[in-house]
Amino acid sequence: MESEVKIKSKKDKYKILEKSDDLYNCSRCGTCLAYCPIYKQTLNESFSPRGKMSLLEAINKGRLEYTDKISEKLFTCTTCNLCKGECPSGVKLDEMINVAKSDLIDAGKYPEVLDILKARIKQAYNITFDSNAGRFDWVKPLPESSPEKYVKKKADVVYFVGCVSSFSPRSFGIPRSIVQDLDSAKVDYTLLGEEEWCCGFPLINSGIKDVIGDLAKHNIEAVKSKNAKLLVLSCPSCYHTWKHEYQKYSDEKIDFEILHISQYLLRLIKEGKIKLNSLSGKVTYHDPCDLGRNSGIYEEPREVIKSIPGLDFVDLASNRKLSNCCGGGGNLESVNQALASKIALAKADEIISTGADIVVTSCQQCNRTIDSSLKKKKKETNTKIKVMDLPELVLQSVKGEEI
């Protein structure tokens, strides 16, 4: 009897119950089937955006409870948001799915990996179990690697590295290139070092909203303590969270400018502070979901590439707001690795078909996923395409070294 009351009281709290009108907006037209990477790989309607909306509407109307199966469907999503952009009825698919994830967290039905992730972030302030003191181990091979050079008391610019680039050796090339790019432009910058905490994106993106406030407050204060006028980020998800989410979760006011590294590099190039030398090759560009569709930054990375003399630029068949997800979004890899890999291979095919020598992206996650899938394709297609992050390409041009 008691458990019944308990369930009922929880059910009353479900936020999806307040979304009747939003859910009714979905006309079940099926446009999303043409875009959803999950549906395209599974051909299973229950994973499609409109399928998810029908399940949530059933819960909203009291026909269904949140079940493990629904949890599986809702968390099987790259959060690439292509469905929302192309929805003719303007359904807020991202918001609905996120609200449902929050409900599922409340209902205790969510992938176990989220508990681990939350514990890591609460204990170590990053997404690994490593001490946050290791935040700038990646500087070690650089000629000048003293902490004093990189972590100053005050600076004009703060570079927020992000957890993946700070701790995953495979991504170290990105921050190493960025500091050298900034050095070449003689920018007065600093890292936050140990005071850089996870931005909170992996949690809010999974519907966990109770930690983000503390992370936001800490991070905003940390940047302010440097008297910085500008915050630069290389991770599109960190950028999105800082730019579009932080002020929803923290009263601590952001009084500095926030730029993604692609925007800042373009500014430095235009101001003549970064000097580019000629390179050769055919280059294509992959729009990361959190940078392009979810933050509206499409042209700056392209302008940076096009400002390097000698490069031949070609767009992917699906680009800008129609960019296909690399498969690395939304924790999908930890929920369903095989599916994430299929999406990544489809992306690799699209990249290979451009005939480019280099695929540039501006996200450490996309970079890693695309690199892996291109390697898997190597045997079959003999592809020699190289994956580079935008700051890496810029550094190559600054140094004038052929790729």
Partner 1 sequence: MEKNYIPELEQIVNPEDVITSFEERLTYSYDSTRLEYMPDVVVKVQTAEQVSRIMKLANDYKIPVTPRGAATGLSGGCLCVNGGISLVMVEMNKILDINPIDLLATVEAGVITENVGKAVEHLNLFYPPDPGSMKSSTIGGNIAENAGGLRGLKYGVTKDYVNSIEIVLPTGEIVNMGSNTVKAVTGYNLVDLICGSEGTLGIITKATLGLLPVPADRVSILAFFKDMTDAAKTVRDIVAEGVITATLEIVDKVTINAIEDFLKIGLDRTVGAMLLIEVDGQKGAVEIEADIVLKVCKSNNALSVREAKSAQERDKLWEARRAALSSLSRIRPSTILEDATVQRSKMVDLINAVNEIAQKYKMMIGTFGHAGDGNLHPTILTDLRIPEEAEKTEKVIEEIFKATIALGGTLSGEHGIGITKAQYLKLELSRPVYDLMGKIKSAFDPNNILNPEKMKCIWSA
Residue 373 and residue 369: Cα distance in Å, rounded? 6
> Measured from the CB of residue 100, what is the shortest distance to partner 1 in angstroms?
13
CA distances from 342 to 208, 274, 354 (A): 27, 39, 19
> Quick check: helix, strand or coil at residue 389?
strand
Q: Is 266 in the site for partner 1 (CB under 8 A)?
A: no
Q: Is 145 in the site for partner 1 (CB under 8 A)?
A: no
> Quick check: helix, strand or coil at residue 316?
coil
CB 235 within 8 A of CB 178: no
Computed from CA positions of residues 317, 320, 324, 327, in that sequence, does the dihedral angle turn out positive or negative?
positive
Among 37, 38, 73, 397, binds partner 1 (CB under 8 A): 73
CB 327 within 8 A of CB 342: yes
Residue 288 and residue 303: Cα distance in Å, rounded? 16
CB 228 within 8 A of CB 157: yes
Compare residues 33 and 142 and give the one whose CB is closer to partner 1.
Answer: 33
Contacts of 184 (CB under 8 A, 6+ apart): 274, 275, 395, 398
Q: Is 147 in the site for partner 1 (CB under 8 A)?
A: no
Among 4, 21, 148, 251, binds partner 1 (CB under 8 A): 21
Q: Is 43 in the site for partner 1 (CB under 8 A)?
A: yes
- Count of residues engaged in binding partner 1, rule: CB under 8 A: 28
Among 10, 67, 184, 303, binds partner 1 (CB under 8 A): 67
> Measured from the CB of residue 13, what is the shortest distance to partner 1 in angstroms?
21
Q: Is 51 in the site for partner 1 (CB under 8 A)?
A: yes
Q: Is 34 in the site for partner 1 (CB under 8 A)?
A: yes
- Cα 173 to chain centroid, rounded: 18
Q: Is 54 in the site for partner 1 (CB under 8 A)?
A: yes
Among 14, 16, 19, 55, binds partner 1 (CB under 8 A): 55
Q: Is 299 in the site for partner 1 (CB under 8 A)?
A: no
Among 25, 168, 277, 334, binds partner 1 (CB under 8 A): 25
* Residue 270, token pair as written in the block: 């235009």
Q: Is 45 in the site for partner 1 (CB under 8 A)?
A: yes
Compare residues 34 and 314 and give the one whose CB is closer to partner 1.
Answer: 34
CB 287 within 8 A of CB 296: no
Q: Is 33 in the site for partner 1 (CB under 8 A)?
A: yes
Long-range contacts of 307-311 (CB under 8 A, 24+ apart): 307/266, 307/269, 307/276, 308/276, 308/278, 308/279, 308/393, 308/394, 308/397, 309/276, 309/277, 309/278, 309/279, 310/278, 310/279, 310/280, 311/279, 311/280, 311/281, 311/282, 311/283
Q: Is 184 in the site for partner 1 (CB under 8 A)?
A: no
Compare residues 44 and 145 and give the one whose CB is closer to partner 1.
Answer: 44
End-to-end CA distance of the chain: 69
Compare residues 41 and 234 and give the one whose CB is closer to partner 1.
Answer: 41
> Measured from the CB of residue 69, what is the shortest distance to partner 1 in angstroms?
5
- The footprint of partner 1 on residues 88-117 (CB under 8 A) is 88-90
Q: Is 318 in the site for partner 1 (CB under 8 A)?
A: no
Among 29, 116, 119, 133, binds partner 1 (CB under 8 A): 29
Contacts of 151 (CB under 8 A, 6+ apart): 136, 190, 191, 192, 193
Compare residues 23 and 223 and give the one whose CB is closer to partner 1.
Answer: 23
Compare residues 30 and 296 and give the one whose CB is closer to partner 1.
Answer: 30
Q: Is 17 in the site for partner 1 (CB under 8 A)?
A: no
Site for partner 1, rule CB under 8 A: 21, 24-25, 27-31, 33-34, 43-46, 48, 50-51, 54-55, 58, 64, 67, 69-70, 73, 88-90
